[in-house]
A and B are shown apart, each in its own frame.
Chain A
Amino acid sequence: MQSGEARFAWFSLLPALLFFAIFVGFPVVYSFILSFSDWNMTSSTADWVGMANYTSLLGDEEFLRSLLQTTLFTIAITACILVFSLAAALLLDLKLRYIQVYRTILYFPAVTSMVAIGIVWVWMLDPEYGLINQLLRIVVIEGPLWLADPKMALPALVITAAWRNVGYFATIFLAGLQAIDLTYYEAARMDGAGAWDCFRRITLPLLRPTILFVVVMSVILSFQVFALVYVMTGGGPAGSTSVIVFYLYQQAFTYFRMGYASAVGYVLFVIVFVLTLVQFKLFGKQADA
């Protein structure tokens, strides 16, 4: 039976794996090879430079800075998502009238293009005319300069990203919540458990695969954050919002250093891959059981 299972497994995986080999494998291998070259995009030839791209990355201050900023961004946004999306999902799971309307509204930002969000949020964050500072002025606080302040620009992007992603991940949590078998709660209730006990003893443990999914996704997506920076700050002011993929994009398409850019991409890959493995180790085990 075990071998029949394996046969079915591979049979069912084969088309997808074949597909992967062509449409993912080839580009990955190709660009990986490029990362050992000095291809400049505009010429038809490239020289093999060995590890040179990787070794110069280690001494590249701008790269290291973008790495640090990406890490900060990822930690902040993932924390926001864990707290706010889960809270939102619990609220959206209530049997309230019009709950459908709230679910839809909170999902709005996820279906809106980054270009649109960029235009709107640059205005929202405008120190003079922006809605946020206008509202702060009502409570007599002069708001920060947001995107014009090197210290506040990254937090401003986190706020924008949170606004965009909380509803998105709340939808995942909601689906996760609704997949939990209600008989568990019934049984707990019989034993006299309260709401908080139920949340801690049933919801959280059974939500583990979903939490793992959300955290892994959030980390992968945040480490690759690009559009937000591309449309809102261009990496400024004073490089304070330059993130890895934005740095990579600039190396490729402003400085025409495709080989170097590819190396940046693979360093990023290794970082995210290791982080994901760690997350699977940390809270994957029980979920996989």
Chain B
Amino acid sequence: MSRRNNELSTGSIPRRALITAAATGLAVAGLPWRAPAQTGKHTVTIWSHFAGTNYEILKRYVAAFNEATPDVEIKTTSFGPSEILPKYLAAVAAGAAPDIFHAPGYVPPDFARNKLIIPLDDLVKLDPSTLKNFDPITIYDGQRFGVPVNAGLGAMCYNLDLFEKSGLDPSKLPETWDDLIAAAGKMTKAAENQWGLALGNQPGFGTAQTYWSFMVAAGGDLVTPDGKASAFNSEQGLETLSFLADAVNKEKISPRKAYTDVQSWNEWGTNKIGSILLYPVFTANILATKVRTASAPPPKKAQRGAHFAGNYWTISSSSKNKEAAAKFCQWWVQPSISGRWAGESGAIPNSQAAIDDPGFKAFLAKNPLGQAFIDTIPFARPFPGIVGLPGMIQIVSEMVQAAVLGGETPKTTLAKAATRVDQELKRAQKA
């Protein structure tokens, strides 16, 4: 075959490749293969689910703590909120968990029951004015397992430009669900992709929050008082689900679209969305859009209501530096620190004292949307602090999307989801 004549000339290819390879190999060998271990003081690791701007701010706070506490050195790493859970669970399984785990709001009960994290009552003294709203999630079996980093809760934001253009009075924001539906109806011009209301419906934590926020206002509950079975297959549960589904399918005041809540907020800049249920960290982005915006506590149904969210410092059972880790938590809950943190990061402080702190007050003075969130605190309720909460949240959020986009009636969807939650709670809570 004619090919054999060419063999000699082809020899150079692999050799050149090998040289490149060898060069790469040397480059790899030259790099530090392991971060050098710290010696002398207690090194405490934190895995945070903050990212971007807020992680940058957190790093500054950690640096300040390290400065103020010579015998403790904190090292932080940031992982995204949805991946920090698999990350942490894998680490626990291999015995490589961090000292402090920055827990998303729905994991403390499960982790506490299985002793992945330790009770903190003897290690950290919270400020006496710490918001009581945190208790259901952080207290398990009478002991506190999480130190609130900050709170977060949803308030409504309204587009005042659209209010005026639609002949609504911008000084009279909707008070009730019916007001909201009526106002959103006036603002909607479907042909121009202009919608009165946009809410998240993609499966996940955000959508479950939205459902629960309206459900609190409807006066319903997710689970029975003993926390062992679902309770949302009720009149109030149906009212809430129908409200979300009808906004899209019947009243047609919301776009028929698969939304995460962040996506729904992101469209604010188009000036074609009349209202959203917003969390405070995003207020800076909303203000940056230059759309004239007003905020208010969510509208009421049977009562005023909202979802109360939070995130927590927890200490791993396997930590060898529990006391040093607790020092950081103790430092964090000082109102002057927590208040300033909330102000800088755009969150709600963890205690009344922190709310009253000048660091936070300065933020409120600058951020015209902030006060509504503070006003919402008294009637904001967290998710029930039950074992099996992550599963329930997932099922509830899937239910919302199925009712909004799936084409089934809210009633059937609700009944199915309730059965699934019952099974899930029974399985998760099995001794």
Touching chains A and B, CB distance < 8 Å: yes
Q: Is the CB of A254 within 8 A of B398?
A: no
Q: A42-B114, A183-B2, A238-B406 are in contact. Are A148 and B202 (CB under 8 A)?
A: no
Docked pose: A40 CA to B3 CA in angstroms: 60
Q: A148-B258, A181-B3 are in contact. Are A236 and B93 (CB under 8 A)?
A: no
Kindly list chain B residues whose C-beta atoms are within 8 Å of the C-beta of A145: 256-257
Q: Which of B50-58, B84-92, B121-129, B169-177 makes up part of the contact surface?
A: B84-92
Which A33-86 residues have a C-beta within 8 angstroms of B? 40-43
Closest residue of chain A to B270 (Cβ to Cβ) is A129
Our pick among A42, A127, A129, A257 for the contact of B111 (Cβ within 8 Å) is A42
B424 interface residue (CB < 8 Å to A):
yes
Q: Is the CB of B114 within 8 A of A236?
A: no
Kindly list chain A residues whose C-beta atoms are within 8 Å of the C-beta of B86: 252-253
Which B200-227 residues have a C-beta within 8 angstroms of A? 201-204
B394 interface residue (CB < 8 Å to A):
yes
Our pick among A42, A126, A153, A183 for the contact of B110 (Cβ within 8 Å) is A42
CB distance from B264 to the nearest CB of A (A): 12
Q: Is the CB of B401 within 8 A of A236?
A: yes
Docked pose: A113 CA to B219 CA in angstroms: 44
Q: Is the CB of B405 within 8 A of A255?
A: no
Closest residue of chain A to B192 (Cβ to Cβ) is A128
Docked pose: A222 CA to B110 CA in angstroms: 34
Which B240-294 residues have a C-beta within 8 angstroms of A? 255-258, 263, 270
A250 interface residue (CB < 8 Å to B):
yes
B62 interface residue (CB < 8 Å to A):
no
Q: Is the CB of B408 within 8 A of A253?
A: no
Kindly list chain A residues whose C-beta atoms are within 8 Å of the C-beta of B110: 42, 256
Q: Is the CB of A238 within 8 A of B401?
A: yes
Closest residue of chain B to A42 (Cβ to Cβ) is B114
A143 interface residue (CB < 8 Å to B):
no
A167 interface residue (CB < 8 Å to B):
no
B19 interface residue (CB < 8 Å to A):
no
Q: Is the CB of B398 within 8 A of A233?
A: no
B407 interface residue (CB < 8 Å to A):
yes
CB distance from B213 to the nearest CB of A (A): 19
A150 interface residue (CB < 8 Å to B):
yes
Q: Is the CB of A128 within 8 A of B255?
A: yes
Interface centre among A147, A149, A237 (most CB of B within 10 A): A237
CB distance from B383 to the nearest CB of A (A): 15
Q: Is the CB of A255 within 8 A of B257?
A: no
Contact pattern, B 386-422, Cβ under 8 Å of A = 1, otherwise 0? 0000110010001001101111100000000000000
CB distance from A258 to the nearest CB of B (A): 8
Q: A42-B111, A250-B394, A256-B390 are in contact. Are A233 and B89 (CB under 8 A)?
A: no
Our pick among B1, B89, B202 for the contact of A183 (Cβ within 8 Å) is B1
A176 interface residue (CB < 8 Å to B):
no
Docked pose: A252 CA to B90 CA in angstroms: 11
Dominant SS among interface residues on chain B: helix
Docked pose: A255 CA to B260 CA in angstroms: 21
Q: Is the CB of B390 within 8 A of A255?
A: yes
Interface centre among A126, A250, A252, A254 (most CB of B within 10 A): A254
Q: A42-B92, A181-B3, A255-B428 are in contact. Are A238 and B255 (CB under 8 A)?
A: no
Our pick among B113, B255, B405, B424 for the contact of A150 (Cβ within 8 Å) is B405
Docked pose: A250 CA to B395 CA in angstroms: 11
Kindly list chain A residues whose C-beta atoms are within 8 Å of the C-beta of B405: 148-150, 236-238
Docked pose: A150 CA to B270 CA in angstroms: 27
Q: Is the CB of B89 within 8 A of A239?
A: no
Docked pose: A149 CA to B402 CA in angstroms: 10
How many chain B residues sit at the interface, stated as a range, is: 35 or more
Docked pose: A43 CA to B398 CA in angstroms: 27
Kindly list chain A residues whose C-beta atoms are within 8 Å of the C-beta of B116: 42
A284 interface residue (CB < 8 Å to B):
no
How many chain A residues sit at the interface, stated as a range, is: 20 to 34
B9 interface residue (CB < 8 Å to A):
no
Q: A41-B89, A128-B255 are in contact. Are A238 and B402 (CB under 8 A)?
A: yes
Q: Is the CB of B257 within 8 A of A148?
A: yes
Q: A233-B258, A238-B406 are in contact. Are A43 and B114 (CB under 8 A)?
A: yes
Q: Is the CB of A128 within 8 A of B114?
A: no
Kindly list chain A residues whose C-beta atoms are within 8 Å of the C-beta of B92: 41-42
B12 interface residue (CB < 8 Å to A):
no
CB distance from A156 to the nearest CB of B (A): 10
Q: A42-B111, A42-B114, A235-B398 are in contact. Are A253 and B89 (CB under 8 A)?
A: yes
Q: Is the CB of A234 within 8 A of B204?
A: yes
CB distance from A63 to the nearest CB of B (A): 13
B193 interface residue (CB < 8 Å to A):
yes
Kindly list chain A residues whose C-beta atoms are within 8 Å of the C-beta of B270: 129
Kindly list chain B residues whose C-beta atoms are within 8 Å of the C-beta of A253: 85-86, 89
Interface centre among B202, B204, B428 (most CB of A within 10 A): B202
Docked pose: A237 CA to B200 CA in angstroms: 12
Q: A236-B202, A254-B390 are in contact. Are A42 and B89 (CB under 8 A)?
A: yes
Q: Is the CB of A234 within 8 A of B203?
A: yes
Docked pose: A40 CA to B430 CA in angstroms: 11
CB distance from A30 to the nearest CB of B (A): 11
Our pick among B93, B113, B193, B202 for the contact of A234 (Cβ within 8 Å) is B202
Kindly list chain A residues whose C-beta atoms are within 8 Å of the C-beta of B93: 41
Closest residue of chain A to B83 (Cβ to Cβ) is A253
Interface centre among B204, B258, B404 (most CB of A within 10 A): B258
Q: Is the CB of B398 within 8 A of A239?
A: yes
Kindly list chain B residues whose C-beta atoms are within 8 Å of the C-beta of A127: 255-257
Closest residue of chain B to A127 (Cβ to Cβ) is B257
Which A196-250 residues have a C-beta within 8 angstroms of B? 233-240, 250
Interface residues, chain A, with chain B CB atoms under 8 Å away:
40-43, 122, 126-129, 145, 147-150, 153, 181, 183, 233-240, 250, 252-257
Q: List 16 A-B contacts (CB under 8 A).
A: A127-B255, A127-B257, A128-B193, A129-B193, A147-B258, A148-B258, A181-B1, A234-B202, A235-B398, A236-B401, A237-B402, A237-B404, A238-B405, A250-B394, A253-B89, A256-B390
6 additional contacts (CB under 8 A) given A234-B203, A237-B401, A237-B404? A127-B255, A183-B2, A237-B405, A238-B407, A252-B86, A256-B428
Interface residues, chain B, with chain A CB atoms under 8 Å away:
1-3, 85-86, 89, 92-93, 110-111, 113-114, 116, 193, 201-204, 255-258, 263, 270, 390-391, 394, 398, 401-402, 404-408, 424, 427-428
The 9 closest A-B pairs by CB, nearest first: A238-B406, A42-B114, A237-B405, A238-B402, A234-B203, A147-B258, A148-B258, A128-B193, A236-B401
